[in-house]
Amino acid sequence: MTEAEKLKENLFRKTKTGWEGLQENVKNSIFTFCDNYIEFLNKSKTEREIVKSVKEIIEEKGFKNICEYSNLKPGDKVYYINREKSMYLAIIGKNSIENGINIIGAHADSPRLDLKPNPLYEDSGLAYLKTHYYGGVKKYQWTTIPLSMHGVIVKSNGEKQEINIGEDKEDPIFTITDLLPHLAAEQMERKLKEGIKGEELNLLVGSIPYNGESISDAVKLNILKILNDKYGIKEIDFVSSEIELVPAFCARTMGLDRSMVAGYGQDDKVCVYTSVRALLNTENPQTTAVCIISDKEEIGSMGNTGMESHVFDTFISELLNRLGINRPNLLDQVFCNSKMLSADVDAAYDPIYASAYEKNNSGFLGRGVGINKYTGARGKSGASDANAEFVAQVRGIFEKNDIKYEVAELGKIDIGGGGTIAYILANKGVDVIDCGVPVLSMHAPYEVTSKFDIYETYRAYEAFWEN
């Protein structure tokens, strides 16, 4: 190497792909980890299913519902489930909790189509369910793909029916039709964002009239009869239901080199999975390790299962009560001494749409875990913007553990923007930075991630808690 080359090697930040020079055994570990991740994705497509899957995994490893503990001591593993849709996990550390906790927080909800409260209607001999999209979606992406139905219907007497149709090979699936190109001249003139309108996202669910009788709405009647036979429900019961339509296809290994994962809902189930797996490796941490699996992030974190609710504060207060140290203002003090990785996905640089990104500050597939000092839009508006001192601490942990990381800013200035749950915890006094997996086609029915980044994110979360 020339002197200039040496100097460059020494002074420039590294931008190499993580795959380069990777040892075969590490590559195998990455692939095995991602096989398990794919399996997890395929049985947990909604926030309720995520909570159920995670509960199963962690109970096997000795986590217990917080209600089962009257006193807590270092090493104890607890969880709390909030209305079946969000959950908090903790491992009590050796250090006093007064000195703060280490939080990693992801969200389990993903963009999708929800059924409206009065969804069922018949038109021209076809039965449809009306939907209301949830989160930021490009609506045209949700037509002409197989969709499955997940959720619950609760009758007024409290009886609950779980619905899961379209995942089993024997199940029917559903789809939303689109106009054939031959007749779409007018539709094709619409702007892309109106290519398919919200009120056109109607799910086709039936076409056989009840008993062939010539009464009105006989196809709708037949659908209700089927639902009544199977679940004992009537049309009015949809009013108290939460039914989500999600892609019926499976998450899969992607690429000839098998380097990527394609699947629905990787925003933000990839961070849920990597953080839960990292927590399971954490035994007797110095600092109390806390994992958040939040709900409603995609629609602004509102509601009593969203991060804006005070249920998380209550959970931490319950830890303080059971440690026998609670007193006025202690909760605020704990938060002010705490650190957090807001575990959410980043927009990966997409060379096909290069003009949306600023190359120097974009996350690239295969370069490791993405860190995002600030989110927001138009001059960082709405961002919590992590302190340089805290970014340095997090970097330090990654560098000490040889974890590949990269900066992953969300696109060019003034071209758009977005947010995560970071600011909510920052408002409580916690030091927070966004830190997660770069994703291509974010919020589409099929999102793409790099297996290297998934594994590196898992290692990053583990290092943060072990530190």
Q: CA–CA separation, 363 vs 238, rounded Å?
A: 42
**Under rule CB under 5 A, which residues in 248-267 are in contact with Mn ion?**
267
**Under rule CB under 5 A, which residues in 328-347 are in contact with Mn ion?**
344
Smallest separation, CB 136 to Mn ion (Å): 7
Joined together, the tokens standing for residue 372 give 């995002």
Smallest separation, CB 268 to Mn ion (Å): 4
Smallest separation, CB 360 to Mn ion (Å): 23
Q: Which residues pair with 121 in a beta bridge?
A: 128
Nearer to Mn ion, 125 or 300 (CB): 300
Which of 112, 109, 15, 106 is CA-nearest to residue 344? 106
Could you give the 3-state DSSP secondary structure of residue 188? helix
Q: CA–CA separation, 131 vs 200, rounded Å?
A: 9
Site string for Mn ion, 216-255 (x = CB under 5 A): ----------------------------------------
Nearer to Mn ion, 108 or 397 (CB): 108
Smallest separation, CB 296 to Mn ion (Å): 11
Q: CA–CA separation, 375 vs 433, rounded Å?
A: 10
Q: Residues 429, 349: contact at Cβ < 8 Å?
A: no
The amino acid present at 317, given as its one-letter code, is S
Nearer to Mn ion, 76 or 297 (CB): 297
Q: What angle do CA 380, 384, 385 make, to 5 degrees?
A: 65
Joined together, the tokens standing for residue 236 give 């009015």
Nearer to Mn ion, 76 or 434 (CB): 434
Nearer to Mn ion, 237 or 267 (CB): 267
The amino acid present at 88, given as its one-letter code, is Y
Nearer to Mn ion, 219 or 460 (CB): 460
**Residue in the shown chain whose Cβ atom is closest to Mn ion:** 268
Give me the helix-helix angle, 451-466 and 388-400, nearest 10°: 110
Smallest separation, CB 449 to Mn ion (Å): 13
Smallest separation, CB 282 to Mn ion (Å): 23
**Under rule CB under 5 A, which residues in 382-401 are in contact with Mn ion?**
none
Which of 135, 132, 116 is CA-nearest to residue 419? 135
Nearer to Mn ion, 223 or 435 (CB): 435
Q: Residues 300, 382: contact at Cβ < 8 Å?
A: no
Q: Nearest 5°: phi and psi at 155? A: -80, 165
Smallest separation, CB 39 to Mn ion (Å): 21
Interface size with Mn ion, residues (CB under 5 A):
3
Span interacting with Mn ion, options 175-183, 224-232, 268-276, 354-362, rule CB under 5 A: 268-276
**Under rule CB under 5 A, which residues in 39-68 are in contact with Mn ion?**
none
Following DSSP, what letter does each residue of 30-60 receive, concatenated?
HHHHHHHHHHHHHH--SHHHHHHHHHHHHHH
Q: What is the 8-class DSSP label of residue 238?
A: G
Token pair 């830890």 in the structure block, residue: 319
**Under rule CB under 5 A, which residues in 344-373 are in contact with Mn ion?**
344
Smallest separation, CB 297 to Mn ion (Å): 6
Nearer to Mn ion, 49 or 268 (CB): 268
295 binds Mn ion (CB under 5 A): no
Smallest separation, CB 377 to Mn ion (Å): 14
Nearer to Mn ion, 267 or 409 (CB): 267
**Residues at the contact surface with Mn ion, assessed by CB under 5 A:** 267-268, 344
